[in-house]
Amino acid sequence: MNSIKTPKENIILVPTDLSTASTHAMDHAVGIAELFDNQITLLYVVEEGFFKSIFSGGMEKAVMVDTINAKLLEKAEAIKANHPNLTINTLVREGKVYKQIIEVSQTYACDSIVMGFSGASGMERFMGSTTTRVLKSSEVPVVIVKDVRSNIKYEKIVLPIDLTKESRQKVDWAIHMAKQYNSEIHVIMEIEKDEFLAKRLKASLKQVENILAKNGVKYTSKILDDIEYPEHFGKDVVQYSEEISADLIMIMTQKETGVQDYLRIGSFARHIIHESKNTPVMGIKPKQTVTYWATESFA
């Protein structure tokens, strides 16, 4: 089922079920690939057990796989027609969707995953539990796309920051993106009523500002108050992003090993993904344990 003919390098993985949402993800991936000189791999995953449920013989399965491959190749050729310098690979796998997405991203050393998402009321396959599981399991950044844009330019990147050390990793990624797109980073934090936490918050914000300035990145920062932004942080992030017409929201993802983690990180990420109407969301998996870093010094 593998039609990848190129070396494993610099690949954006685009899972697709050929729906409108996943087509938007393809368009988005093309914009990224042209700037970063990526290859693109279109992946179609046939649900585990699907062939057994409708076919009894191998011939029918082969015909179905050939049909899917033909459709993927048609999509690839359509992209190549408008973007002749891009390398587009196609791949068909069978199994659990999220597991195959993660396995392929690891096998082919993909450097990112771009997925379509139709929203809480949609019926496309790449939504809900699949998206959540991919975000939790992926070692590389995952970009969730809802709408289609003719020009993919991350001119305004929203960077929600908390008091955890993982936020440093998100700052590094924001700098990487900003330098490529000449972006303005919008650093936002939620106001803390506790005096001790409020001091840490301001110290953390100052550190982030210093890092961005040192790297020559344009930025603006804002602590969201309870008057203008009275909801929980996830909803406030979406509200702020819509107000400034943001091009990307960057969030951290984390394995939810306990109720506290679930409430603090899991629901935050899911809310932003579900409630952000147009703005793409990039999820980045942290590689360190949670710890305060407001008093640390790093370059």
236: CATH: 3.40.50.620
Average pLDDT over residues 266-270: 71
Q: What is the pTM of this model?
A: 0.83
pLDDT category of residue 3 using cuts at 50, 70 and 90: very low
Residue 278: per-residue pLDDT: 82
216 Cα distance to chain centroid: 25
Residue 208 has pLDDT above 60, yes or no: yes
Where does a domain end: 145, 179, 195? 145
Report percent pLDDT > 90 for the chain.
46
Report percent pLDDT > 70 for the chain.
77
Say if residue 185 is in the same domain as residue 279: yes
Residue 121: per-residue pLDDT: 43
Where does a domain end: 98, 119, 145? 145
Residue 290 has pLDDT above 70, yes or no: no
Mean pLDDT value across the chain: 81
pLDDT category of residue 78 using cuts at 50, 70 and 90: very high
What's the chain look like in SS3? CECCCCCCCCEEEEECCCCHHHHHHHHHHHHHHHHHCCEEEEEEEEECCHHHHHCCCHHHHHHHHHHHHHHHHHHHHHHHHHCCCCCEEEEEEEECHHHHHHHHHHHCCCCEEEEECCCCCCCCCCCHHHHHHHHHHCCCCEEEECCCCCCCCCCEEEEECCCECHHHHHHHHHHHHHHHHCCEEEEEEECCCCHHHHHHHHHHHHHHHHHHHHCCCEEEEEEECCCCCCCCHHHHHHHHHHHCCCCEEEEECCCCCCHHHHHHHHHHHHHHHHHCCCCCEEEECCCCCCCECCCCCCC
Average pLDDT over residues 233-248: 93
Average pLDDT over residues 68-94: 94
Residue 3 lies in a domain: no
Domain count, the chain: 2
Which range marks the domain in which residue 189 is found? 156-284
Q: How many Cβ atoms sit within 10 Å of the Cβ of residue 180?
A: 12
Residue 5: per-residue pLDDT: 43
First to last CA, the chain: 46
Residue 105 lies in a domain: yes
CB-based burial label for 218 (10 Å; 0-12, 13-18, 19+): middle
Q: Which segment of 55-69, 181-195, 240-254 scores lowest on mean pLDDT?
A: 55-69
Residue 151: per-residue pLDDT: 58
Average pLDDT over residues 161-186: 86
Say if residue 134 is in the same domain as residue 18: yes
Alpha-carbon dihedral 273, 278, 279, 281, rounded to 10 degrees:
30
Contact yes or no for 78/127 (Cβ under 8 A): no
Contact yes or no for 160/284 (Cβ under 8 A): no
The whole-angstrom separation of Cα 67 and Cα 127 is 24
Residue 117 has pLDDT above 70, yes or no: yes
Contact yes or no for 216/195 (Cβ under 8 A): no
Say if residue 54 is in the same domain as residue 178: no
Q: Which strand ranges, in their side-by-side order, compose the sheet holding 142-145? A: 88-95, 39-47, 11-15, 112-116, 142-145, 281-284, 248-252, 156-160, 184-190, 218-224
Say if residue 171 is in the same domain as residue 280: yes
Q: Which segment of 159-168, 173-182, 233-242 scores lowest on mean pLDDT?
A: 159-168
Say if residue 162 is in the same domain as residue 137: no
Where does a domain end: 110, 145, 180? 145
Residue 261 has pLDDT above 50, yes or no: no
Q: Which segment of 32-36, 92-96, 122-126 scores lowest on mean pLDDT?
A: 122-126
Residue 125: per-residue pLDDT: 45
Give residue-wise pLDDT tens across range 122-145. Answer: 434 444 578 878 988 899 999 999
Residue 290 lies in a domain: no
pLDDT category of residue 57 using cuts at 50, 70 and 90: low
Residue 31 lies in a domain: yes
Residue 107 has pLDDT above 50, yes or no: yes
Say if residue 127 is in the same domain as residue 178: no
pLDDT category of residue 231 using cuts at 50, 70 and 90: confident
